[in-house]
């Protein structure tokens, strides 16, 4: 300060006030500035004022244009200000502009979308967006007008939908008034065209309804055809068309039923006159097709009377034929068929009584014959005795004789079976060929294929097998003894064949073990002789080939003196040719 004049000091204090405004509070008591520092401060103050003016002008431009590019440009300039208060004030103004621009863009988009879709949901979205704009704003007013146009269309279109659903003339008239208020000619034409369809439908519905009423009153085919043509003009799937069609179908059903009733009645009369089953069946089919229970019941009752007559005659003829077949064949199957046929005749009827008496005679024979079959199958004396009781009750002597002869054969079988059984038991107890032969002779008296003969034969075969096995066992044992004595390979092989044919595992194992001992001796003797011969050949020829053959032969011998002696002799040869 001491370097400045008085006037300069006053000016400096004033300029510091400006600097303080730009850079914040400055305490003049602490400032010791040189003149160059003071000049620099003044220059910075002037530059900030220019920067503030430029930023403020940009904000004003954005407020006027409301363009996003101007808002973004102004925001960049304001954010560069160093004074917090100036920056905050200008950013608040930009925020107001930005909010308006965002809301305007959103509302415009919603209105455009609404104009494209024209749905009530989008009306609500667009109105909510418009309401965020300032009241009396020109853009808001313009968007609201566009929204109102769509609202007016939707109200008119809803009235058309109502008329289409209700098919009432008053709804058509109400919709016409609303459509006339529309400004878009294309919308008018589209909605009027839909109303014309509704009006046409109403006219067709009234005409069809009147024709159906006429058909219901007169019930003639001509009126039905006229009503059907009117109904066919209504849309397929329409509920009122379906209702009218249902009413007309009832008239059609009535006319059709009267025709069917006449045909069915004529058929019943024909059956009553002809009394033929074919005519009854044909008439019954026609009557069962009738829907009226009373008519159907009355006609079926008349047919039942005819059927009763036909059924009795048919059943009597059928039962007579079946009884005759039972008398001829005398089989249980035909007896049962005949009894079923007789049971269909009325109780107490003379024809039924006569046929039952004839059938009972056949039944008695069939029962007696069945008892003989049972005795033949079981071959038991008690069944034979039971069969004799039934046979003695027969009235036909020839039948009696035939059946008694068959029983005699059964009794012969029972006696032969007892004899054969006793002989087999004897053979099982005393297993000699003589007893086997006696048992076989008695078994051969029984019928071929008989199960009890087969069972006895099986038991006797077991005895035969035992005797046969004992013979084979002796032969095999003798062959093993021979091999043990001769120690010849041929005898071992022959004995082994006989032993392997034995069925008893224990016997076979014992004899094979004995043969194995013989085989071991033969194999050792053979290998020892072979090794000795090979060593002698090596000693004579002293060639490596014969030495190798001798070594292979020695290796087959078990450990022992003979193997050691031969190996020692061969080692001498090996040393001499090394």
pLDDT digits (tens, 9 = 90+) for 140-170: 898 998 898 888 888 888 889 988 888 888 8
d(CA 129, CA 145): 14
Say if domain 505-578 classifies as CATH 1.10.10: yes
Q: What value does the mean pLDDT of the chain take? A: 89
d(CA 578, CA 570): 12
d(CA 283, CA 277): 10
Confidence bin at 40 (pLDDT 50/70/90) = low
Cβ contacts of 197 within 8 Å, gap of 6 or more: 164
- pLDDT surpassing 60 at residue 27: no
pLDDT digits (tens, 9 = 90+) for 187-234: 889 998 999 888 898 999 989 999 999 999 999 999 999 999 999 999
Cβ contacts of 457 within 8 Å, gap of 6 or more: 443
Confidence bin at 31 (pLDDT 50/70/90) = very low
Q: How far is CA 91 from the centre of its chain?
A: 71
Tell me how many degrees the CA angle 447-448-452 measures, rounded to the nearest 5: 70
Choose the weakest-confidence range: 37-41, 42-46, 269-273, 332-336.
37-41
pLDDT of residue 159: 86
d(CA 460, CA 405): 31
- pLDDT surpassing 80 at residue 35: no
Mean pLDDT in residue range 28-40? 47
SS3 132: coil
Query: Closest by alpha carbon to 45, among 15, 4, 88?
Result: 15
pLDDT digits (tens, 9 = 90+) for 504-527: 999 999 999 999 999 999 999 999
pLDDT of residue 143: 92
pLDDT digits (tens, 9 = 90+) for 358-390: 999 999 999 999 999 999 988 899 999 999 999
Confidence bin at 38 (pLDDT 50/70/90) = very low
DSSP 395: S
Mean pLDDT in residue range 81-109? 92
Query: Closest by alpha carbon to 387, among 367, 417, 409?
Result: 367
Q: Which residue has the higher pLDDT, 29 or 231?
A: 231
pLDDT of residue 235: 93
Tell me how many degrees the CA angle 197-200-205 measures, rounded to the nearest 5: 125
Q: Measure Cα distances from 266 to 131, 222, 263 in Å.
A: 85, 26, 5
d(CA 122, CA 505): 102
d(CA 129, CA 124): 9
Where exactly are the structural domains of the chain?
Answer: 6-200, 206-292, 312-395, 414-503, 505-578
pLDDT digits (tens, 9 = 90+) for 103-135: 989 999 999 998 888 888 888 999 999 999 999
Mean pLDDT in residue range 531-544? 97
């Amino acid at each position: 300060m001491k370097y400045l004049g008085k006037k300069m000091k006053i000016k400096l204090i004033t300029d510091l006030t400006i600097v303080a405004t730009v850079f914040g509070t400055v305490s003049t008591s602490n400032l010791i500035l040189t003149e160059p520092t003071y000049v620099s401060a003044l220059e910075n103050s002037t530059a900030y004022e220019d920067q503030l003016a430029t930023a403020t002008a940009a904000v004003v431009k954005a407020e006027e244009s409301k363009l996003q590019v101007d808002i973004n440009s102004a925001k960049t300039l304001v954010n560069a200000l160093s004074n917090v208060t100036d920056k905050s004030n200008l950013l608040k103004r930009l925020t107001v502009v930005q909010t308006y621009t965002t809301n305007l863009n959103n509302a415009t988009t919603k209105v455009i979308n609404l104009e494209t879709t024209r749905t009530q949901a989008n009306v609500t979205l667009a109105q909510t967006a418009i309401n965020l704009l300032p009241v009396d704003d020109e853009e808001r007013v313009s968007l609201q007008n566009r929204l109102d146009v769509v609202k007016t269309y939707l109200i008119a279109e809803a009235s058309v939908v109502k008329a289409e659903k209700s098919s009432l003339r008053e709804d058509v008239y109400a919709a016409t008034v609303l459509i006339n208020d529309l400004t878009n000619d294309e919308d008018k034409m589209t909605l009027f065209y839909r109303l014309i369809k509704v009006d046409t439908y109403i006219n067709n519905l009234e005409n069809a309804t009147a024709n159906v009423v006429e058909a219901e009153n007169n019930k003639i085919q001509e009126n039905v055809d006229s009503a059907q043509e009117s109904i066919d003009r209504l849309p397929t799937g329409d509920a009122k068309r379906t209702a009218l069609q249902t009413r007309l179908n009832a008239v059609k059903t009535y006319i059709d039923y009267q025709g069917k009733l006449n045909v069915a009645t004529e058929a019943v009369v024909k059956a009553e006159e002809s009394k033929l089953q074919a005519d009854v069946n044909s008439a019954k089919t026609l009557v069962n097709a009738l829907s009226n229970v009373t008519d159907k019941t009355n006609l079926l009752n008349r047919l039942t009377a005819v059927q009763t007559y036909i059924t009795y005659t048919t059943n009597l003829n059928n039962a007579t034929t079946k009884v005759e077949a039972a008398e001829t064949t005398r089989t249980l199957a035909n007896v049962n068929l005949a009894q079923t046929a007789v049971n269909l005749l009325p109780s107490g009827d003379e024809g039924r009584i006569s046929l039952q008496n004839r059938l009972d005679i056949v039944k008695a024979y069939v029962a007696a014959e069945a008892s003989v079959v049972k005795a033949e199958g079981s071959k038991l004396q008690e069944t034979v005795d039971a069969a004799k009781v039934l046979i003695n009750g027969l009235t036909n002597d020839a039948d009696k004789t035939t059946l008694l002869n068959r029983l005699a054969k059964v009794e012969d079988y029972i006696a032969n079976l007892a004899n054969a059984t006793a002989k087999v038991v004897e053979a099982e107890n005393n297993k000699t060929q003589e007893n086997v032969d006696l048992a076989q002779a008695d078994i051969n008296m029984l019928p071929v294929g008989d199960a009890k003969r087969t069972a006895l034969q099986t038991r006797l075969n077991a005895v035969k097998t035992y005797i046969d096995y004992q013979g084979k066992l002796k032969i095999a044992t003798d062959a093993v003894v021979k091999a043990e004595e001769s120690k010849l390979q041929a005898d071992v092989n022959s004995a082994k064949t006989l032993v392997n044919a034995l069925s008893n595992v224990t016997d076979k194992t014992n004899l094979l073990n004995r043969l194995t001992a013989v085989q071991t001796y033969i194999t050792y003797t053979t290998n020892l002789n072979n090794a000795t011969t090979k060593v002698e050949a090596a000693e004579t020829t002293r060639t490596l080939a014969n030495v190798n053959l001798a070594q292979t032969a020695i290796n087959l011998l078990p450990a022992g003196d003979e193997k050691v002696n031969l190996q020692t002799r061969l080692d001498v040869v090996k040393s001499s040719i090394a």
